[in-house]
Amino acid sequence: MTAPLDSTSPLRSAVEETQFSSEETSPRLTSTRLQRIREQFRAQMRRGRPQWRPFSPLPQDVPPDLVPGCTLQAVIGSGGMGTVYLARQNALERQVAVKVLNPRLANDPVFMERLRKEAQIMGTFSHPNLVGCHDIIVSRNGACILMEYIPGHLNGRTLIHLLGPMPERYAILVLHALAKGLAYAYEKGFTHRDVKPDNLLFAFQDKRPPESYEELFQSPDFRVALCDFGIASTQTQYTEEHREEPPGEVKAEEEEEEENAIVGSPLYMSPEQALMPENVDCRSDIYSLACTAFFLLTGKPPFPGKTLEEVLDLKTQCDLPLPVPPAPAKPLNPILGKALLRMGALQQEDRFQDYATLLDVLAPLETSLTSPLSFRLFTYHYRKFLSRLCLGALLLGGFILLGIHGYTQWLNNYERRLMDDTVFLGKWEGTLSTWQQIFTAEGRVLRGTASSGPLTLKEHLRPGDYLRVSLNFQDVGSAILMLHSATGGKEPLMRLICYREPRRNVVQLGLPSRKPDSPTAFEEIPGPLDLPDATNPWIQLRIQFHESFCVVWNQDRPLGICHFPPVQEAAFSISRLNCPQVQFANIALVREKYAQRLLPRLNEEYP
C-alpha cells in the first residue's frame, strides 16, 4: 500500500529542499543533521547478529564504587550514550540498572538540564510496561541514571534472532502492552521518540535464553517493558527550543545542530522525526511502534535499504508495507493488518490520532487470545451484521409487542362484542313475537313481560364454556331460567329462580328431584343469604358449564355448584316470567379457549 506525496505535503517539501545533499541545506534538515543520521544509520547496519550472553565481567579499570551509593557488579551493555551496569543499591539492598553517561554528554549543561527534567517526570512513572527511573546522580566521576532492573538480558532484536519471527498472538500482546505504556507516558507529557526492538526488554528469570516463545510468554513473571527514555521529549520542549532570538543574533549552524540534534533510529523513526522534529508527537511514536511490530512479525525492518538515502526516500514516499510473516505461519489477521497500515501511514493525519483509539482496536485482539469466542472480538468482526441483526430483532420485537397488544385488546373486547351479538332475537328460538328488542341507555336489551313465552338460545354450551346473563326487574317479581340437555329428551339439568323483592335481589338454585313420586319437582340448593349486589337493579350471573356439573357465579363470587349426569351439550332457556317487565342484557356465550383467559380464577378454584 503506497501513498505518493502530493506537492503540498510538508514531508515532500522538506525532501525536495534537501535532496539528501550536503551542499544545499533546509531550515530543518541541514547537511550536518543529515550527516549525523547517516552515521547513525551506518552504525546500525554494521551491527552483527546479536547473541544472548550473560553479564560481562566488570572491567578492571572500572571501580565497583564508581557510582555513589551503589556497587557495580557486571556490564549489561553499552551504547552511544554510555554503559549500562548491573549494580546493587546499598541503601535499599536491591538490584538496579545503572546507566553511566558518556563523559561528553555529562559535560554538556544543556543536555544535563534536559536530563534532570526528564528524570523528575520519569520518576513518577508507575506502569508495568515502562522501565522506571529511580534517580539521577551527578558526581565528580560523571552523571548516571538509576533505573529499574529487568532480568533476562533479552531485548526485541536479540529475541527475534534467537527464536525467529514472533507468532502473531504474541506480537499482539507486545504491541498492546507497549501502546498502554506509551499512552501512560504521553499522559505524563512525554513522547519517547526512540521506539525500536532494541528498547524492548523481556523479563525472563532463568539464567539462560528461552527455548521457545511459549516458554517466555507463559512464564509467571513474564513482562515486556519499554526502556531508554534518555531522548524522550516533553510536549513543550520544541516550543521552548524554537523561541525567536533577539534581533541581530543569528546562531551558527553547528550551535543550532547541537541543540536540535536528530535523535532516534532511522530504520524505525517516523518521517517527520527526521525531517521536521518540531512536529513530533504521539503519532510519531505510533509510527515507530508499527515499524517495531513489523520487525517482530517478519524479522526485518520495514524499509531495509542499503543506504540512508534509500531508506528515507521510501519513508517519505510510501506508507508502511503490510507485514507478511514467513511460511509456514498463517496470514496476518486482517484486523491487525489494517491497524498496522493505519499506524504506519505516511501522513500524520492518516494515523491514529491518539492512543485511546489505538487501544480500542488492540484490546479485542488481545482478549481473543484468552477466549477464542470473545464477545468483544466477535462484535468487532461482525459489527455490521450484528447491527442489522439487532435492527431486525428490534423491528420483529416491535411487531410481536404490537401483536400481543392487539390480541389483548381484542380479547378484552371479545365478551363485549358477544354481548352485542347475542342480544338479538335472531340468535334465539321460541315465541319470539312476545318479546321486544329495544335500545336503552345501557345498550341493546331484550324486554319481556308476564305474557312472554319461553326463549331458547340457539347456540349450545359445551364443556368449558360459560354464559353471562344480566337481567333487570322493573317491578317486584321473578324469572325462571333453565339449563337442560340439548340432545335426547332435553332433560332439565338446573333451574335458576331470580327474585326481585322490595329492597333486594335473591337467586335460588335448584336441581331436578330424584324422588320417584315427584319427577318434575326441583330440590333447592342452599346458597348465600344475600347477593354481593343485592341492592343493584341488575342481577349479573355467570354460568360455567362442565360435563357433569356447572358453577353459578354472581360477578366473581360463587353462588353454588350443581351436579348432574354427564352431558356433552346444554341449552339455555328463559322459561317463565312473573313480572310486569324484565329486561335481559349483556348476554354472551364465551367458548372454552377464551374462557380460560377471561376467567382464570374460576378454573383455579373449581377445576
Tell whether pTM > 0.75. no
- At 606 the pLDDT is 38
Look at the block and give the residue holding cell 368449558.
464
Peptide bond into 328 cis (omega under 30): yes
The mean-pLDDT minimum among 13-22, 244-253, 334-343, 465-474 falls in 244-253
Residues with Cβ within 8 Å of 580's Cβ and at least 6 positions away in sequence, in order, are 449, 450, 474, 475, 477
- At 291 the pLDDT is 94
pLDDT band at residue 174 using 50, 70 and 90 as cut-offs: very high
- At 250 the pLDDT is 36
Model pLDDT for residues 335-391, shown as the tens digit of each residue: 899 999 999 999 999 999 999 999 999 988 887 665 544 455 555 556 677 788 888
Model pLDDT for residues 473-524, shown as the tens digit of each residue: 888 899 999 999 988 777 889 899 998 888 788 888 888 887 766 656 888 8
Find residue 485's DSSP bridge partners: 570
Q: Which residues are marked as active site?
A: 194
- Output the nine-digit C-alpha cell for 192: 519517547
Return mean pLDDT, the chain: 78
Mean of the pLDDT values across residues 446-457? Answer: 91
To the nearest 10°, the Cα dihedral for 383, 387, 389, 391?
180
- At 287 the pLDDT is 94
- Output the nine-digit C-alpha cell for 322: 503490510
- At 470 the pLDDT is 87
Find residue 44's DSSP bridge partners: none
- At 278 the pLDDT is 83
CA distances in angstroms from 543 to 160, 249, 311, 339, listed in the order given: 89, 112, 97, 74
What is the Rg, in whole angstroms, of the alpha carbon atoms belonging to the chain? 48
Q: Return d(Cα 595, Cα 546) in angstroms, integer.
A: 12
Mean of the pLDDT values across residues 106-119? Answer: 74
166-189 in b/e burial notation, b at 16+ Cβ within 10 A? bbbebbbbbbbbbbbbbbbbbeee
Model pLDDT for residues 186-207, shown as the tens digit of each residue: 988 888 888 999 889 999 888 8
Helix, strand, or coil (residue 348): helix
Q: Annotate 391-433 with DSSP letters as a single string.
A: HHHHHHHHHHHHHHHHHHHHHHTHHHHHHHHHSSGGGEEE-GG
Pair 179, 359: CB distance under 8 Å: yes
Residue 529: pLDDT over 70: no
- Output the nine-digit C-alpha cell for 544: 360455567
Q: Return d(Cα 392, Cα 387) in angstroms, integer.
A: 9
- At 464 the pLDDT is 87
Mean of the pLDDT values across residues 166-181? Answer: 93
Backbone φ, ψ for residue 256 (5° rounding): -65, -35
Residue 587: pLDDT over 90: no
Q: Starting at the edge strand that comes first in sequence, how are the strands of the sheet with 570-578 ordered?
A: 428-430, 455-457, 570-578, 477-485, 492-500, 505-512, 522-525
- At 602 the pLDDT is 43
- At 173 the pLDDT is 92
Residues with Cβ within 8 Å of 426's Cβ and at least 6 positions away in sequence, in order, are none
- At 528 the pLDDT is 65
Beta strands 505-512 and 492-500: pairing type?
antiparallel
Model pLDDT for residues 300-351, shown as the tens digit of each residue: 999 877 777 888 888 888 899 999 888 777 888 888 999 999 999 999 999 9
Model pLDDT for residues 45-82, shown as the tens digit of each residue: 555 556 666 677 888 888 888 888 999 998 887 776 77
Backbone φ, ψ for residue 605 (5° rounding): -85, -30
Report DSSP state, residue 148.
Answer: E
The pairs formed by 350-355 with CB atoms below 8 angstroms and a separation of 24 or more are 350/3, 350/319, 351/283, 351/286, 351/287, 352/283, 352/286, 353/283, 354/282, 355/179, 355/180, 355/182, 355/183, 355/186, 355/282, 355/286
- Output the nine-digit C-alpha cell for 494: 338446573
- Output the nine-digit C-alpha cell for 207: 539464567
Residue 117: pLDDT over 90: no
Backbone φ, ψ for residue 88 (5° rounding): -110, 120
Residue 542: pLDDT over 80: yes
